[in-house]
Amino acid sequence: FQRTEAPRPPEGKDLHVYPWDKSSLKSMPVDLQQFEKLDAYALKVNVKNSVEELVKALLKQARTDLEKVRAIWMWICHHIEYDIVGYHNKSQLSSKPIDVLQTGKSICEGYAGLFEQMCSIAGIQCMKLSGYSKGYGYKMGQTFTGDSDHAWNAVYLDGRWHLLDSTWGSGAVDDSFTKFTFRYNEFYFLTHPALFINNHFPDNSNWQLLKPTLTLKDFENNMLHNSNFYMLGLLTAHPETAVIQTVNGKASVSVDCRSATLFTFKLKGTDEHGLMTLKKHGMKLDIYPQKTGSHKLQIFAKPSKASEDVYNCVLEYVVECKSVDKAMRFPKGLHQPVGPSWFTERQGFLRPSHPNPIIHTNDGRCSVTFTLGKDISILASLHSDNSSLTEDMRRRHIMQIHRGNQIELKIHLPHAGNFVLKIYAKKKSDPGNYDYIFNYLITCLNTEVKWPAFPQSYSKWVEDYEILEPLSGLLPANRNIQFKLKMHGIAKVLVQAENTYPLTQSRGYWEGTCNTSGCREVFVMVHENANHSFYSHVLKYEVETQ
């Protein structure tokens, strides 16, 4: 084992461009699969009597400098735990490498010191660096003064300096700072300097390994992206500052990512007062706090392929709200994300007529169309906070019209206000329940609006039948009413009011009139087969009372 010569300070060829070029999370090409055997070997090494002996044992399987550094890193991250008691009582604490090795615990100073000595024994140039960190106890937007609070390392590999932090690679302390949990984090091994600067600010700015270097003010103001952010393939977030001021009661956040990712958010612990939409490469969130003051906003993410329902926190902001936009009070039933996306496309809802999450209607009517994937049956219902609609009526304000693989949802709102249009689906071949897929927000400010429900349909009303008139489920009294229905595969159609009126067929439509005097309900009935005397009810209308 040769001792290394004094390390050279960083120079031009060590520097990486800031901001991050989104190329790689690491500062040199690293193939983690090639490390699998070495990693497994390093974890099993169990030498505690001297640092030299430990290094000697670890290097048996390591040939290149990169492999040597990897073996040392792996061993430290899995065998040294963070010393919480020592952190609170530093006078009792030794950060000497041999003491760290023998007690198996330390604070960052000891991790970095042991790393430095082990590299030195292995003949690899290594520096122990100190500076400020956005680690335990960091509050968003805080300033840093006084002595540095963290230590990490730089190692010299392939003619360049690289950064790593074995303290943060080993695990994490809980919020109350009473318990350390080993949880290996690959992110902090040879981290790209433009990402490392996110939460490590060295006392000597040369050790940022960046051009241009950041000032302490930049570091304080910059958004903290934790390692989950990058490990999930997220690229950038806007705004880039931790504190967001609302403008006219609204604040917006967006995230860009490489691949399909699912997001959720919490504003002061709930996902109300926001409107989140998924994009192919990220998401957009508009927040409308309903109280002034400072609110904590957290964004969570998980890969779309993840089987567990575990979302990781990837961003935190503080939203400072000066004024409230009362018009943007969303119904409680609104589910995030809102509107169609790559996710709803995967569920078989293609080519939506309304790609945006909010549908504005002035006259209280709107129509939403999709091309449906094969074998999909859908349910839709309407929800509003100030509505006493029964479960049945929530569906009766929406009419489904099928034309081939196209579906149209015709919506007539019962009154003005904000409504949630919830859409459920299942495979027609599945006997089971409908699954919730997504929702829209429908808004109508026109207080004159008061549409009755559509007529009630029965099981014999086939999916691709269509009502052209009357669309209203409430008919005026003492009037002649024109009927026009599109139905196929039946022999006869009757409209039953006080009297019975047959409809006649022409060009695929059944047409005729009926009079509503003297009755409270009107039924449409069909004869499926001319030889049967049996009629089936397909539609029911109410008649207004005088």
The tokens of 103 are what?
């007690």
Cβ within 8 Å of residue 75, ≥6 positions away: 42, 43, 45, 54, 58
Give the closest residue to 316 by CA, choosing from 335, 288, 302, 295.
295
Cα–Cα distance, 219 to 203 (Å, whole number): 12
Cβ within 8 Å of residue 435, ≥6 positions away: 424, 425, 426
Do the beta carbons of residue 334 and residue 441 sit within 8 Å?
yes
Average confidence (pLDDT) over 517-522: 96
Do the beta carbons of residue 397 and residue 413 sit within 8 Å?
yes
Higher pLDDT, residue 78 or 534: 78
Maximum distance among all alpha carbons in the chain? 108
Q: Which residue has the tokens 């159609």?
A: 493
Catalytically annotated residues: 108, 150, 165
Higher pLDDT, residue 489 or 386: 489
Query: Residue 480 burial (CB < 10 Å; 0-12/13-18/19+)?
Result: exposed
Q: What angle do CA 219, 220, 225 make, to 5 degrees?
A: 70
Give the closest residue to 225 by CA, choosing from 15, 25, 17, 23.
25
Sign of CA dihedral 175, 179, 180, 183: negative
Q: pLDDT-derived band of residue 53, with 50, 70 and 90 as boundaries?
A: very high
For all residues of the chain together, what is the average pLDDT?
94
Cβ within 8 Å of residue 105, ≥6 positions away: 80, 81, 82, 83, 86
Query: What secondary structure letter does DSSP report for 314?
Result: E
Buried b (16+ CB within 10 A) or exposed e, 37-65: ebbebbeebeeeeebeebbebbbebbeeb
Q: What angle do CA 473, 475, 480 make, to 5 degrees?
A: 135
SS (H, E, C) 190-258: CECHHHHCCCEEECCHHHHCEECCCCHHHHHHECCCCHHHHHCCEEEEECCECEEECECCEEEEEEEEC
Q: pLDDT-derived band of residue 534, with 50, 70 and 90 as boundaries?
A: confident
Query: What secondary structure letter does DSSP report for 75?
Result: H
Cα–Cα distance, 190 to 182 (Å, whole number): 20
Cα–Cα distance, 364 to 417 (Å, whole number): 9
Q: Which string of DSSP letters, residue by residue, matches 365-407?
A: EEEEEEEEPTTEEEEEEEE-TT----HHHHHHTEEEEEETTEE
Q: What angle do CA 331, 332, 337 make, to 5 degrees?
A: 85
pLDDT of 140 = 84
Q: pLDDT-derived band of residue 4, with 50, 70 and 90 as boundaries?
A: low
Give the H or E element holding residue 542. Answer: strand 535-543
Q: What whole-number percentage of the chain has pLDDT above 90? A: 86
Which domains, from first to last, does the chain contain? 12-209 (3.10.620), 231-321 (2.60.40.10), 342-444 (2.60.40.10), 456-543 (2.60.40.10)
Average confidence (pLDDT) over 65-84: 98
Q: pLDDT-derived band of residue 24, with 50, 70 and 90 as boundaries?
A: very high
pLDDT above 90 for 523: yes
pLDDT of 235 = 95
Q: Which residue has the tokens 């929702």?
A: 439
pLDDT tens per residue across span 87-121: 988 888 899 999 999 999 999 999 999 999 999 99
Give the closest residue to 340 by CA, choosing from 409, 386, 427.
409
Q: pLDDT-derived band of residue 265, with 50, 70 and 90 as boundaries?
A: very high
Comparing 73-77, 149-153, 374-378, the range with the smallest average pLDDT is 374-378
Average confidence (pLDDT) over 397-406: 95
SS (H, E, C) 104-127: CEECHHHHHHHHHHHHHHCCCCEE
Cβ within 8 Å of residue 509, ≥6 positions away: 468, 484, 485, 486
Interhelix angle for 108-121 vs 51-58, to 10°?
60
* 337 upstream amide cis, omega within 30 of 0: yes
Cβ within 8 Å of residue 142, ≥6 positions away: 220
Average confidence (pLDDT) over 314-335: 94
Average confidence (pLDDT) over 337-347: 97
pLDDT of 305 = 86
Q: Which residue has the tokens 């409270």?
A: 520
Average confidence (pLDDT) over 144-170: 97
Q: pLDDT-derived band of residue 308, with 50, 70 and 90 as boundaries?
A: confident
Do the beta carbons of residue 210 and residue 12 sit within 8 Å?
no
The tokens of 254 are what?
């967006």
pLDDT tens per residue across span 452-477: 999 999 999 998 899 999 999 999 99
Q: What whole-number percentage of the chain has pLDDT above 70? A: 99
pLDDT of 3 = 57
Query: What secondary structure letter does DSSP report for 34?
Result: G
Phi, psi of 207 (to 5 degrees): -80, 5
Average confidence (pLDDT) over 407-425: 96
pLDDT of 371 = 98
pLDDT above 90 for 2: no
pLDDT of 533 = 77
Do the beta carbons of residue 284 and residue 358 sit within 8 Å?
no
Query: What secondary structure letter does DSSP report for 269?
Result: T
Q: pLDDT-derived band of residue 223, with 50, 70 and 90 as boundaries?
A: confident
pLDDT tens per residue across span 168-187: 999 999 888 899 999 999 99
**What are the beta bridge partners of residue 127?**
154
Average confidence (pLDDT) over 503-524: 96
pLDDT above 80 for 84: yes
Taking CA atoms, 323 is separated from 54, 141, 238, 284, 319, in Å, by 62, 22, 22, 22, 12
pLDDT of 391 = 84
